[in-house]
Structure 1
Amino acid sequence: MGKGFYISKPVGIVSIILCAGALATIIALSVVYSEEKAKNNNQVSPTDGGTTSKPPVTTLAPSNEPWDKYRLPKNLVPDHYNLTLWPRLTPDLTTGLYIFTGKVVFFHTRLLHSPVSRSRSACLCQQEFGSIPLRGKGMYHLYTKFTGELADDLGGFYRSEYMEDGVKKVVATTQMQPTDARKAFPCFDEPAMKAIFYITLIHDRGTVALSNGEEKGYPVTIDNQHVQKTVFEPTEKMSTYLLAFIVSDFDFINNTIDGVWIRIFARKPAIAAGQGEYALNKTGPILKFFEKYYNSSYPLPKSDQIALPDFNAGAMENWGLITYRETALLYDKEFSSNSNKQRIATIIAHELAHMWFGNLVTLRWWNDLWLNEGFASYVEYLGAHEAEPDWNVKDLIVLGDVHRVFAVDALASSHPLSSKEEDIQKPAQISELFDAISYSKGASVLRMLSDFLTEEVFTMGLRAVDANGTELPDTVHNIMNTWVLQMGFPVVTIDTKTGVVSQKHFLLDPDSEWIVPIKWMKTGAALGTEWVLANLNVVGYYRVNYDEENWGRLLNGLSTNHQLIPVINRAQLVDDAFNLARAKIISTVLALNTTKYLDKEREYMPWESALNNLDFFYLMFDRSEVYGPMQDYLRKQVTPLFNYYKTLTENWSKVPDGHMDQYNQVNAISLACRTGLEECQNLAKTWFKQWMDTNNNQIHPNLRSTVYCNAIAASGANEWEFAWSQFKNATIATEADKLRSALACTKQPWLLNRYLEYTLDPKMIRKQDATSTIVYIANNVIGQSLAWDFVRARWSYIFTQYGGGSFSFSNLINGVTKRFSTEFELQQLKQFKEDNAEVGFGSGTLAVDQSIERTTANIKWIAENKQNVLNWFRDETKPVF
């Protein structure tokens, strides 16, 4: 039981803030940032960067044994590399493999004398370790030649293939983060071991070579081959994981802003179609925003951004050469929805934020990855707001990050933001950290502190420079540690009758405590009807519970005049109620009652919050007798919203003006069709059939995903085959993604099984899209068991082919198991874990345990709630006479 404290009664708690510090994490980070900028001035040039703390020097005992530890010794420090690489974009005639050759000269400084020692270097081809004896102290030059495979595995130096005018094209590109630079060339592949890189690329004439620095190319002849040699300006002092080198025949558009050369690269047809224009237009303003935000000029002379056909992550912040999926950089108004446009703006802002925070100043080790990614995930909303001020995009962090990560952080198998360094050693352990906790919880707690301190104070901490460093007071450390070093988050309970406010760990570990900043709102038209609302605009990373009477007053406020409650808090009330119910803190009926006012709600955020939470009810009940009454209720609630947008858009002929209104129009159509509103389903089928009959797609890009899905779900093989043909012929990545998702909506099991088999063939489904396609199929109630059987039967192959270190493996495991709610499914899941222990789960290891925990909770929840939920839906849909 959490500790309580008293405040004045009755509820005289307006504008009270609990505790003075809340989240001092960023204060510590700010000091580190300031110290590093200052150290850079003393040790290297201002743009050389540094690490968050100077790594300790380790004295190695004399030994003739190879270095067999995961971490590198600290008494050998790289100074700079001269690296030449020559990727072959055609297969070797003898082996049939695509290869690259290279040579590298290491320049190392020996810090401490050790008669004989060996250092771990990078993998050479298939080897993880290399060792070379070194004697004495001083500067070493080490020359190495090597050959590697330019595979299609999406890691290290790899190849991406695409078709253009019937001709196969090959791109040689890179993805080094977190531990794959060693796959490209022998190197000291740890973030703290920064060095300067002199890069040279040999490539076919007619192709373009890119790297982190500015390039200068000229033709040469090597081994009787007429090729191009491109030499790049030396990089700033930087980590290996931020290196990038690419050879392609892409085209580009460019602009110069305040001396910074900005280029957008993509396939030639994409550039010719103007798909890079939006990114080019927004990059400059976002860069200028961050220069002001950090009070520091962009540290490089150029900013290249490139859209790749095959890329496992969304984007990667390589210093001066940012790589993206095509869907994350290219925009075409004829095919891209407003959500596609928002994704581009926020991802560009995220990656540009890293140019300072992460690249200029870098973490010493991956255990504090959240500082990098959480910070960028927070300020991406600020950068996107600068680019598109009319969108009000900053509010969407509540749906996109706060509510998203609550679901993970409420599990006992969650993890703290910061891990112990010794616990994060292996590549798979590092990859596991690229999860919702590091990104979304990191963003959420930083937003909370920024609000508490004010954004002005928050940014002042980033801009300050103190050459002598700053010692943090113990109180700051104590406050910070409650949010960073322990997992989870609190639920704050407010008893408006007694004035007692208490907290406990949400779901588990009631002894944990946080120092919580709380903002209040109190209103009411008459004595006895006033309600209290905490966590205004959901700036705090915690849930809120109330006494039953206050919940009743809030529900009455929603039903009588919901607009008195801020729109973000309407979304919060729904999300808190449903999750408090899942934790058995309040009743499920109370949570369901928060949806009764939705027939009057027209704003996007409350509807989206409700749909996200009701999706859990679909997962639990779409195979049971609850499904029918639930459909009836939700159809009744959404019909007014559907009709509202029908009128607003003049019978679907116009697009709503507001960014959020465009999103909510999609919700209206999606839920109306999903719940069987005949008018909606006929609309979707009619639009889709018109496209099939005329081969002229008049469906607005905002509506295509939901129209495609509902039309395919209501149809047969002909519609599926048409959509598959359109998918295979799509030249716009965003359009291909909409179709790829919709193809999983069919109710035909044989089509879903065939689609699952396609995910194993890169000619059918790109490797980057394989795991998400399987999850799309599992989202379909018909495809759930098919996808689970498929993953179990093919796990060894999937794991081997799609990379144990892939960030997407946790999404795959969670995606195919999130509907699990029976004892039989739980035993299958445990057996799956046992059967594949030797194969492993890579970055999905933690997801397996989370799935087991979630399934166990689902079983209990259904046993306790099914009848009450069924009765509630039946009562709410009874005819009124």
Structure 2
Amino acid sequence: MGKGYYISRHLATAAMVLAAIALLTIIALSVVYNREKSKNAAKFTNATTSPVPPTQKTSNEPWDKYRLPDTLSPEYYNVTLWPRLVKNANGMYIFTGISGVMFTCVKKTDLILIHSNKLNLTLFKGHHAKLTGQSGVTAPAIKTTWFQMETQYLVIQLEGKLKPGKSYWLYTEFTGELADDLEGFYRSEYMEDGEKKIIAITQMQATYARKAFPCFDEPGMKAVFHITLIHDLETTALSLTNYFVFVLNERPNLCVTIFGPTKKMSTYLIAFVVSDFKYISAKDKKGVLVRIWARKKAIEDGQGNYALKITQPILEFFEKYYNTSYPLSKSDQIALPDFNSGAMENWGLVAYRETALLYDPQTSANGNKQRVVTVVSHELAHMWFGNLVTLKWWNDLWLNEGFASYVEYLGADYAEPTWDMKDQTILYDLQRAFAVDSLTSSHPLSRKEEEVNTPSEISEMFNTISYSKGAAVLKMLSEFLTEPVFAKGLSNYLKQFAFGSSVYTDLWDHLQKAVDQTPGVKLPYSVHEIMNRWILQMGFPVITIDTRTGNVSQKHFLLEPEAVVDRKSEFNYEWFVPIKWMKKQQVQDQLWLLQKSGTLNLVNKNEWVLANLHVSGYFRVNYDLGNWERLLSQLESGHQVIPVVNRAQILDDAFNLARASIINITLALRTTKYLLHERKYIPWEAALRNLNYFFQLFDRSEVYGAMQAYLKKQVKPLFEYFGNISSNWTAVPSGHTDQFTQIIALSLACSTGVEGCRELTRNWFKKWMQNPHNNVIHPNLRSTVYCNAIAAGGAEEWNFGWQMFQKATVAAEAVKLRSALACTKVPWLLNRYLEYTMNPEKIRKQDATSTIGYIASNIIGQSLAWDFVRANWDYFFKMYGTGSFSFSRLISDITYRFCTPFELSQLKRFQKDNAETGFGSGTRALQQAIEKTTAKIKWLAENKEPVHQWFLSESA
């Protein structure tokens, strides 16, 4: 059992009292537990002995609405839970609990609505709860109670009215299933030293706290939480605050862990874990305890050391950046074997997938290390922005996630200052957001509250727009305000709304005050007027510069230029656009484009012009043909003159302008010719992403051969360059991003048939197969090597990879193998692998949808994956459709290659055939798949032949 650390004298005294209560709790819970043993497993639904009133879907009753009424306000909760980590008589894992919530009546009412989902509540005199008044107040009697299944409420009707300003106590006892569904309070299983281990863990975001205990489960309904966990003596219980542990004489195999009261916080940030994990720890300069928790072997092997090393400087950075002290006394971070999200910012107990927190220097790649620092930085940024100050409702999710996605690069840059982390935002946020926001099925960053109601609609908000567009737009805002002004306004905002909730306009108010208080900072309009155009309407502009006249204009950019946008905009799809630009090598004053058109001051029209300098703005740029030619000439004669992120911008803008039929496709293809001389990661990655789009368009047509020949010629110098500086691939470059470029060189060289590449990867893999205990392949290159070797081999190579996957003790290594197994060209192996995704003993539930996505990325596996998902749609929708953040990605992955009329008809048939089942959080992804396929069909009809001819001419 992990040792608890002692708490203050006053809290210890309170803990003694709570311990006595806990003893009584154990007795009560035991009664519930024994009662549960005699129940049938089917009882684990919201079935009750009280009938559900026969209301219609069109009912205007409060219990048929997804939003809580504004009549009650929770103040604090007392929650005691007892998870059983062994099966009961019915073969189930369960937890039992009691919960009390004190709330204040805001408006007179005879109705209490509190969220509860998949909990069996004990009956008290025929009702599911007990109600008492506080401070001498008499509570009205309960008239009737029932569960409203659709809206997930426990409904309590009273015989009298609750009085405004008075406080009441609502008490419930309940039993729930400790399922393996990755939601609420659930279980995770893993093998260690040949023994199956069971742990109890939580994931409350966005609407799952109600699966752990009855609660007012909305982000704006903040309260203080007192949490107590009863658990086996050999396990450790963790939650958000410091704890005190009592061993029970009455039950020597059990102990009670009592946690100190939390700060005032939202239900979705609650967390608790019961496990036998180990930890490493350190204290920062201010005495904040930092601990990294994980499986025993992972900690013993040093996989938590890097996370511990970077957590302290990142916390230090954010304290300075926000000008606000870290609000808690500890920062626990825990790596979990089964976790649906990448990570979750629980306030004081941050949960991660193992791949996002653990790093093994012996087997993890450089990219795994970068993922750890960026994810840790993202989650720690939330400790202030999101946790200390929380959004009022999920329609403004972008404010939480967009902000954390932006500043994660600032925190990571502080922890790893030589990695050029800030430049990578162009790849991982801006260009990723562009791809989705250029569709008519996109949506504004901030949506109307009434558009986001159901759990599925809330889950759907956790998407690229909220994260990546949010980050790109906030980065642009910080750039034109200047970072000091942005940080000043942010600090004041956090101070005013600390421990409360807000809406995005509150942030605009404080940023505007910071502008007003800073001499020399001038804006053409207020922060509200500028930014509302970026967040209240979807999309972004393409800025066109005509260097012959100096004219600058803007237009809503859509990949399908003739598409009709159904969503109206009060701003008519026009933006106030801050344009940083340069002539030749001279940086010019920023231009604000405030209307559809404006003018640049161009004296020498024979010099190239580059707009969106350092890619600080959220827009694409087009030029007249003459300026495009001058930029292409500069790239080929001396590309270093153009900033590295702008080289990536030129590539990405050109290809997407061509996809939208704004410029000729051959002009876009010409931007890749200079890559013969490029050695930097960001331009190559931008090029590869756009070329991968071409791969999936043409790898089933005659264009593919000529394209392969051209790319082989372009990548060969890069392959040879890294062969030379790495002593024939026996070492890795010292530069952080150079290591990423080396991976691109190997991957693209092997896929295009550069001499010596495939032989290299096959020989490495063969050596490993001959000696499985000595993997000579460098961790950076393993993903590429594994994939190429398994693709070139058969069942022997696949089975070896599967064995190594099953034996992997480092999560990052397991991911590399799981992805590589999808590279095989043998159909029956792919079909067998697809079947594995429905067996959690083989592929964990958290990994099922991404594994199908890997298979779908294989030209052989795409149709197999599509057929498989359609055939098992009811299963996948039931497992992932209503809440999983990865579900929309599944739909995108299996339809990524679609580009023919037949495939479009299949998509529409799929939509029609499953309309009754629904698509849950993948609804928008399906709409986007139809829109993308339609656009690709039209584009191919117009551009396939010129593309083919260009590749033929350039590959000769």
Q: TM-score, normalised by structure 2?
A: 0.83
- In structure 2, C-alpha distance between the alignment counterparts of 1:302 and 1:183, rounded to whole Å: 27
Residue matched to 1:117: 111
Residue matched to 1:744: 822
Residue matched to 1:512: 573
- What do the CA deviations read for 1:42-93 (whole angstroms, capped 9, x no partner)? xxxxxxxxxxxxxxxxxxxxx997722111111111111100000000111x
RMSD: 1.8
Matched, 1:207 2:235: yes
Matched, 1:494 2:488: no
Q: In the TM superposition, what is the alpha-carbon distance from 1:451 to its structure 2 partner?
A: 1.2
Residue matched to 2:129: none
- What do the CA deviations read for 1:397-450 (whole angstroms, capped 9, x no partner)? 000110111000000000000000011110000000000000000000111111
| Counterpart among 73, 77, 83 of residue 73 in structure 2 | 77
Q: How does 1:58-69 map to 2 (within 5 A)?
A: 67-69=63-65
Contact 1:524 1:531 (C-alpha < 8 Å) held by counterparts: no
Matched, 1:129 2:153: yes
Q: In the TM superposition, what is the alpha-carbon distance from 1:122 to its structure 2 partner?
A: 2.0
127-136 vs 317-326, which deviates more?
A: 127-136
Residue matched to 2:699: 622
| Counterpart among 167, 173, 177 of residue 201 in structure 2 | 173
- In structure 2, C-alpha distance between the alignment counterparts of 1:117 and 1:175, rounded to whole Å: 29
- In structure 2, C-alpha distance between the alignment counterparts of 1:481 and 1:65, rounded to whole Å: 34
Residue matched to 2:261: 234
User: Counterpart of 1:389 in 2: which secondary structure?
Assistant: coil
Contact 1:772 1:812 (C-alpha < 8 Å) held by counterparts: yes
Q: What runs of 5+ residues in structure 1 fail to find an aligned partner? A: 1-62
Matched, 1:405 2:433: yes
Aligned length: 813
**1:548–1:234 distance in 2 versus 1, CA, 3 Å:** same
Matched, 1:712 2:790: yes
Query: Which letter maps to 2:582?
Result: M
Residue matched to 1:193: 221
Residue matched to 1:785: 863
Bigger RCO (CA 8 Å, 6+ sep): 1
Q: In the TM superposition, what is the alpha-carbon distance from 1:694 to its structure 2 partner?
A: 1.7
Residue matched to 1:448: 476
Query: Which letter maps to 1:227?
Result: L
Residue matched to 1:12: none
User: Counterpart of 2:63 in 1: which secondary structure?
Assistant: coil
- What do the CA deviations read for 1:610-661 (whole angstroms, capped 9, x no partner)? 0000011001000000010000000010000000000011111221010110
Residue matched to 2:597: none
User: Counterpart of 2:418 in 1: which secondary structure?
Assistant: helix
Contact 2:459 2:882 (C-alpha < 8 Å) held by counterparts: no
User: Counterpart of 2:155 in 1: which secondary structure?
Assistant: coil
Q: What runs of 5+ residues in structure 2 fail to find an aligned partner? A: 1-58, 121-148, 498-505, 514-524, 566-571, 587-602
- In structure 2, C-alpha distance between the alignment counterparts of 1:546 and 1:310, rounded to whole Å: 49
Contact 2:182 2:338 (C-alpha < 8 Å) held by counterparts: yes
- In structure 2, C-alpha distance between the alignment counterparts of 1:97 and 1:107, rounded to whole Å: 32
**1:730–1:529 distance in 2 versus 1, CA, 3 Å:** same
Residue matched to 2:900: 822
- In structure 1, C-alpha distance between the alignment counterparts of 2:441 and 2:162, rounded to whole Å: 48
Q: In the TM superposition, what is the alpha-carbon distance from 1:809 to its structure 2 partner?
A: 0.8
Residue matched to 1:690: 767
Residue matched to 1:271: 299
| Counterpart among 928, 936, 956 of residue 850 in structure 1 | 928
Contact 1:81 1:195 (C-alpha < 8 Å) held by counterparts: yes
**1:244–1:467 distance in 2 versus 1, CA, 3 Å:** closer
- What do the CA deviations read for 1:596-618 (whole angstroms, capped 9, x no partner)? 11111111111111000001100
| Counterpart among 381, 392, 398 of residue 353 in structure 1 | 381
Residue matched to 1:37: none
| Counterpart among 97, 104, 119 of residue 92 in structure 2 | 97
Q: In the TM superposition, what is the alpha-carbon distance from 1:527 to its structure 2 partner?
A: 7.5
Q: TM-score, normalised by structure 1?
A: 0.90
Residue matched to 2:350: 322
**1:64–1:564 distance in 2 versus 1, CA, 3 Å:** closer
Residue matched to 2:101: 106
Q: In the TM superposition, what is the alpha-carbon distance from 1:288 to its structure 2 partner?
A: 0.6
Residue matched to 1:432: 460
- What do the CA deviations read for 1:73-116 (whole angstroms, capped 9, x no partner)? 11111111100000000111x210100000001111112223x2
Residue matched to 2:30: none
- In structure 2, C-alpha distance between the alignment counterparts of 1:616 and 1:799, rounded to whole Å: 28
- In structure 2, C-alpha distance between the alignment counterparts of 1:490 and 1:136, rounded to whole Å: 53
Matched, 1:799 2:877: yes
User: Counterpart of 2:359 in 1: which secondary structure?
Assistant: coil
Contact 1:66 1:131 (C-alpha < 8 Å) held by counterparts: no
- In structure 1, C-alpha distance between the alignment counterparts of 2:584 and 2:91, rounded to whole Å: 74
- In structure 1, C-alpha distance between the alignment counterparts of 2:276 and 2:433, rounded to whole Å: 40
**1:552–1:69 distance in 2 versus 1, CA, 3 Å:** same
| Counterpart among 804, 808, 812 of residue 726 in structure 1 | 804
322-331 vs 694-703, which deviates more?
A: 694-703
**1:793–1:522 distance in 2 versus 1, CA, 3 Å:** same
Contact 1:687 1:699 (C-alpha < 8 Å) held by counterparts: yes
Contact 2:881 2:919 (C-alpha < 8 Å) held by counterparts: no
- In structure 1, C-alpha distance between the alignment counterparts of 2:60 and 2:73, rounded to whole Å: 20
- What do the CA deviations read for 1:484-511 (whole angstroms, capped 9, x no partner)? 0000000000000011000000025795
- In structure 2, C-alpha distance between the alignment counterparts of 1:307 and 1:551, rounded to whole Å: 49
User: Counterpart of 1:597 in 2: which secondary structure?
Assistant: helix
Contact 2:119 2:176 (C-alpha < 8 Å) held by counterparts: yes
- In structure 1, C-alpha distance between the alignment counterparts of 2:830 and 2:609, rounded to whole Å: 49
Q: In the TM superposition, what is the alpha-carbon distance from 1:804 to its structure 2 partner?
A: 2.1
Residue matched to 2:835: 757
Q: In the TM superposition, what is the alpha-carbon distance from 1:789 to its structure 2 partner?
A: 0.3
Residue matched to 2:733: 656
Query: Which letter maps to 1:130?
Result: L
- In structure 2, C-alpha distance between the alignment counterparts of 1:581 and 1:467, rounded to whole Å: 47
Query: Which letter maps to 1:494?
Result: I
- In structure 1, C-alpha distance between the alignment counterparts of 2:618 and 2:469, rounded to whole Å: 8
Contact 2:554 2:574 (C-alpha < 8 Å) held by counterparts: yes
Contact 1:767 1:802 (C-alpha < 8 Å) held by counterparts: no
Query: Which letter maps to 2:254?
Result: V
Contact 1:124 1:186 (C-alpha < 8 Å) held by counterparts: no
| Counterpart among 628, 634, 639 of residue 551 in structure 1 | 628
- In structure 1, C-alpha distance between the alignment counterparts of 2:829 and 2:202, rounded to whole Å: 35
Sequence identity percentage: 64
- In structure 2, C-alpha distance between the alignment counterparts of 1:66 and 1:783, rounded to whole Å: 48
- In structure 1, C-alpha distance between the alignment counterparts of 2:824 and 2:185, rounded to whole Å: 38
**1:777–1:467 distance in 2 versus 1, CA, 3 Å:** closer
User: Counterpart of 2:441 in 1: which secondary structure?
Assistant: coil
- In structure 2, C-alpha distance between the alignment counterparts of 1:280 and 1:416, rounded to whole Å: 38
- In structure 2, C-alpha distance between the alignment counterparts of 1:215 and 1:477, rounded to whole Å: 44
118-127 vs 566-575, which deviates more?
A: 118-127
User: Counterpart of 2:153 in 1: which secondary structure?
Assistant: coil
Contact 2:881 2:922 (C-alpha < 8 Å) held by counterparts: no
User: Counterpart of 2:654 in 1: which secondary structure?
Assistant: helix
Matched, 1:562 2:557: no
Contact 2:231 2:256 (C-alpha < 8 Å) held by counterparts: yes
Contact 1:66 1:118 (C-alpha < 8 Å) held by counterparts: no
Matched, 1:255 2:282: yes
Matched, 1:810 2:888: yes
Query: Which letter maps to 1:644?
Result: Y
